[in-house]
Structure 1
Amino acid sequence: MRYLIDNFKKTWEFIRETKSSYVDILLMHGFLMFFLTPFLVSATQFILRQGGIAYISYDNLGMIFSQHPFVFLGLIGMLLLLVTSVFFEFTFLLLSVYFIKIKKKISLKQLLKGTLLQLKKIRFGTLLFFLFYFFLVLPLSGIKFNSELLAKFQIPVFILDVIFENRVAFIALFVLFYLILIYIAIRLIFALPEMILKDKPFKESVKFSWQETKGSFLRILSQFVIVMGTFAIVSGLSTTVIILVQDLIETSAPKYALGSAIFLMTALQVVWLINLIFSTVGIFFVTIDNLGVRNFLPATLSWYKEETPKEQANWQKHLKSTGLVVLIIGLVVVVGTSNAEFLSNPASVKPITVSHRGVDNKNGAQNTIDSLIKTSTDTHPDYIEMDVQETKDQQFVVFHDFNMKNLTGENVKPNQLTLDELTTFTVKENGKEEPVASFDDYLAKANELNQKLLIEIKPTKDDSPEMIDNFIKKYGDDIIEHGHTIQSLSFDIVAELKEKKPEFVVGYIMPFSVVGPPEGDMDFFTLEYTTLNSNFIDSANAQGKAVYAWTPNDEDTMSRMMFYGIDGMITDQMTILNKTVKDNENITYSDKLLYFVIGIG
């Protein structure tokens, strides 16, 4: 209990003493958010355009390397610039917290000078360690370094779903791997501060951290939990109070609801900024605090020069005046106007509803005709999403997995058997048993039901060269006549479909987005919902392309996607989606504030 109380006291003292660094940290974050991050994205897009490359993903890196070496080198250069920029941000924040800890004032000018000096001293080993630590260990361990530069790098939730839905052994291995990463993250926590504050070599710093954290793992980890938990609780309580106040005003004094919502939304943004400061530097506070307790912090740094009161006064006066003017203009003109427009606009546009693999709340076996009939009849989705693969005899079967063992018990790939052989198998899922369907039969039944399909073409390396030609020849006119659409994870297939049959409505499924919507003739993009934000949707819509989210399965997530302006949603819970779409016709200002908080959180 004593340890808990001491850490709460330290956290409160840290919050109180960090006030002097608010402006510095906010200026740094503003520079990263509004200048450096957009520059990196635009520069990467420019490099890709020079090689005539429409997108970057895991499936075309080999092609870029072999066929576009200069583009590949340019992308490597952008990666190095990104890593160097994150290192700059890390060093800047570490130095800020260090000077707070030793209770010495430092100007923004000196902070930038000291940070740039560290960049000059950076070594290859330091950069490799930084890559390992901040792009692998910390994100996966859950000890989050809140950097705007790293905001796009996250694990899509569908990868975790695959792990947790399939095998107990995989779950156990994942949990073990996660625990190991947490352990490594804590044991190496002093390495980078030693390199930066004491100019120690890479190997010596890593060895020092490993030795000094021996026997202290749980203590340091618990301090992280206490410090970051305190910030989260304070921020969460503040946010809850603001939203409840808005809800109360809407109920008791509705004529003031819009004005209060504009004011309270601004208050939410202030809370977010304050929480951003504390959560961003929280990791540095724990690290510096532990080094200070062990008397490992240097008394001062060689480049630091304590400024005279006159120098401090002039500089601080100029900075505060400038900051105050910018803050007032920002709040009154930009933030206030933006919030008013945001809150006055319609809450959301009714999205296209799509049933994922033709199933609603496990009402049948995926991609089977029986589920198609049930879901179409009971929930009336705009589209039913389903998967097709080429068979050994160049026909098309409705099946998702690249191996049939999990759903049929047969350890074989769809492209290893003929269509007649495949349709003798039975899909067993959700307590149902239904035959594997040919695409001909599935399409015919959908047409009979007047049910539109979202057809996902799932390619493999063993597909015939004529696969797309055969598909277009057999089904092209039927697809256009009945208004079906197509999508694929393969950019090449999307491009080929649009080239050979421009009338098709075709979408590109993106596993993740780093540099925004790719260029191409596709009609829409499909993204995993955890990687989506309103900026991507706005950018895609500006190109005349729609955006679908897959697979939001709860009401809150669906409402948030609608709040972003999503054009379509692919879900396993069609009944919930139908209800959510109907309920969101009367969304309140307090609902908008809640979705805004979730969106920026």
Structure 2
Amino acid sequence: MKKQRLGLRKIYHNLDKILLLLFLIFMVMEVIWIPLTSFGADWLLQQTGARYLSYSNLGQVFLSKPLITAAFIGLFLANLFLAYLQIGTIFIGIYLLLNPQTNSIRGFLGQIFTRLRVLVKNFRLSKAFFCLLYVGFLFPFLKGLLKIHYFKKILLPEFIQTYLLQQPLLALALLCLALLLFYLAVRWVYALPQLFFEEKRVGEALAYSWKKTSWKFWQTSWQLGWILLKSTIFFYFWGFLILLIQNIADDFPQAWSFFIALINFVLLKILDYQAMIYFMLLFIAFLTDSSLPDFQQKHRHRWVRVVILFLSFLFFGLEGLLYISQPAEKPPLLISHRGVSGENGVQNTIPALEKTARLKPDLVEMDVQETADKQFVMMHDANLKSLAGLDARPQDLTLADLTRLTLHENGHEAPLASLNAYLQRADQLGQKLLIEIKTSSKDSPDMMERFLKAYGPYIISRGHQMHSLDYKVVQSVRKYSSKIPVYFILPYNTIFPQTSATGYTMEYSSLDQNFMFKLWLQNKQAYAWTVNSQSAIRQSLLLGVNGIITDELSEVKEAIQEDQEDRDYSSILEKQLWYHVAIF
């Protein structure tokens, strides 16, 4: 414990420089740069005439206007450069903290700017792309820890991960790729100080690191793992201590408990940054074989610490005031994914609907496709082979042919249902629906016009909702009637969409607070899919989504009830703590 106390004392004695480093980097990035570039990307998208950016319209957006495309490339390179500069500033700042000659604040700042000028002068795209590769793919823990906003968007959505892991060969390939990335992360770890401190080229830095880790792979892996473990313990220890204090304070009079909750919210935010600094101190000390010097804080520098602490408390305090003092939000809608819950039946079938309706979801999400005779049938997949054992598409068969098929899934079997039969049973059960329109190249040109003519009045009268991956469907519904809530499904959060949709059905792992804030400004809503794990549920509740689409209705329903019933300040802070853990 003596060594640990000494480490914390060293951090305290360097607190003024640490806080100044945090303030310079993250206040500028989060308050100025990220909102500015986000606005710029939104504006550029508007200039293309497109309302959104997704895999379905990438070619159309980036090939239609070369100048706008060039501007997008320029914005991407600018963000890549700033991300490289942000990482470099953190590495350089921490490295200077480890230098015993860097005692004064003025000297600390002077050396940072001097080294940054050299870093910019020797900048190469290859260095920025290596940082993108290392932080984004090889050692992805860093992109969350260092709060590199645009690097955090580098993720494989969970629905794709689930699909890959369900395919044995793809799962094996994914495992091999993960092991390869881990191996490269360890073998190339010493390239980072070579790039930032020695100004080496990428090839030279990689060769140096490869040689240094030769025959030391497992030793290096163990040391990196120990650093991660110590940093995790540091974060959890102080985080749970703050929660314990708040749990006691919740028994105080309301005014006092609120005031303490506000202070603890600020402390949690600062702890988040302090944990990052603690990890980086250990990480860079390991890479450079150095340690944090210990010297007493100069009295004349205390005012710097006070000013920075005041500004930090002010900034985080305003955020906490909004977060903590908000009234109990309206709970998110509970939505059954594909009409099932916990593998209680075959997706999109009437027997499954009957079982699922007993759990009283707010909406049952179901999938509709057109048939060869221009009718409508309940089916999610583009091919019938998985559920019916028939290698054909719904658009290849008539409604009569399709409804004679028996579907098999999760140990259950049920007849394939027509849309009419499904709607009739939902009506008898009093169950509201979220109707997803699945489109294909074989659909008739007037499919949506016929669908809305046949079912539009019924959907309005029963309070059903709609959503689709195809924006043309959203436009058709909006043109038909504003009384039908219609959501545009986006599998990934890129540039904020500017559409006429009521809101967006978003893959939950790509959602963030920036997206939710923009939704709030535009008075739009977000449904998160597919939310099945405890971490996904916590993240969705903390972000304040308007609906949760899930395969596990009972689990999510219980979590929503607990969230609504347990509104004391300690539970609110606990969600904030878990959110910061989840983003790593």
Confirm or deny a common fold (TM above 0.5). yes
The whole-number CA distance in structure 1 between the counterparts of 2:6 and 2:444 is 66
The whole-number CA distance in structure 2 between the counterparts of 1:390 and 1:250 is 56
Contact 2:20 2:308 in 1 (8 A): no
Deviates more, 1:355-364 or 1:574-583: 574-583
Alignment of 1:248-327 (within 5 A): 248-251=248-251, 256-279=256-279, 283-289=283-289, 321=303, 324-327=306-309
Residue number among 540, 557, 560 corresponding to 2:519 in the alignment: 540
Deviates more, 1:49-58 or 1:35-44: 49-58
Q: CA deviation at 1:448?
A: 2.8
**1:402-443 Cα distance to aligned partner (Å, 9 max, x none):** 233332333333333333333233222222101122222212
Match of 1:328 in 2: 310
Match of 1:305 in 2: none
Contact 1:142 1:182 in 2 (8 A): no
Contact 1:147 1:280 in 2 (8 A): no
Match of 2:294 in 1: none
Match of 1:210 in 2: 210
Match of 1:352 in 2: 333
Alignment of 1:31-46 (within 5 A): 31-46=28-43
Contact 1:8 1:227 in 2 (8 A): no
Is 1:473 matched with 2:462? no
Alignment CA distance shift 1:219-1:492 (3 Å): farther
**1:517-573 Cα distance to aligned partner (Å, 9 max, x none):** x11110011122223334433321321211112232356754553443322221222
Residue number among 51, 56, 78 corresponding to 2:53 in the alignment: 56
SS at match of 1:454: strand
Is 1:83 matched with 2:80? yes
Match of 1:366 in 2: 347
Is 1:130 matched with 2:109? no
The whole-number CA distance in structure 2 between the counterparts of 1:543 and 1:142 is 29
In structure 1, give the amino acid aligned to 2:551: D
Alignment CA distance shift 1:123-1:336 (3 Å): closer
**1:295-346 Cα distance to aligned partner (Å, 9 max, x none):** xxxxxxxxxxxxxxxxx99xx96x8645532432542x55445534533332
Match of 1:552 in 2: 531
Q: Across the two proteins, how many residue pairs are aligned to each other?
A: 570
Q: CA deviation at 1:589?
A: 1.5
The whole-number CA distance in structure 2 between the counterparts of 1:219 and 1:146 is 28
Match of 1:504 in 2: 484
TM-score norm. by structure 2 comes to: 0.88
**1:357-390 Cα distance to aligned partner (Å, 9 max, x none):** 11122221111111111211x1222211011223
Alignment CA distance shift 1:391-1:13 (3 Å): farther
**1:146-199 Cα distance to aligned partner (Å, 9 max, x none):** 4234233333222222223x2233222211111110111122223343244333
Q: CA deviation at 1:259?
A: 3.3
The whole-number CA distance in structure 1 between the counterparts of 2:483 and 2:499 is 15
Aligned sequence identity (%)? 28
Instruction: Give unmatched runs, 5+ long, in structure 2.
Output: 292-296
The whole-number CA distance in structure 1 between the counterparts of 2:245 and 2:142 is 36
Is 1:234 matched with 2:267? no
The whole-number CA distance in structure 1 between the counterparts of 2:144 and 2:504 is 32
In structure 1, give the amino acid aligned to 2:413: E
The whole-number CA distance in structure 2 between the counterparts of 1:28 and 1:239 is 23
Contact 1:356 1:385 in 2 (8 A): yes
The whole-number CA distance in structure 2 between the counterparts of 1:256 and 1:141 is 37
Alignment CA distance shift 1:260-1:469 (3 Å): same
Alignment CA distance shift 1:542-1:25 (3 Å): closer
TM-score norm. by structure 1 comes to: 0.86
Instruction: Give unmatched runs, 5+ long, in structure 1.
Output: 294-311
Alignment CA distance shift 1:589-1:427 (3 Å): same
The whole-number CA distance in structure 2 between the counterparts of 1:217 and 1:55 is 45
SS at match of 1:486: strand
Deviates more, 1:232-241 or 1:199-208: 199-208
Match of 2:466 in 1: 486
Match of 2:510 in 1: 531
Q: Which has the higher contact order (CA 8 A, sep 6+)?
A: 2
Match of 1:201 in 2: 201
Match of 2:406 in 1: 426
The whole-number CA distance in structure 2 between the counterparts of 1:508 and 1:487 is 6
SS at match of 2:426: helix
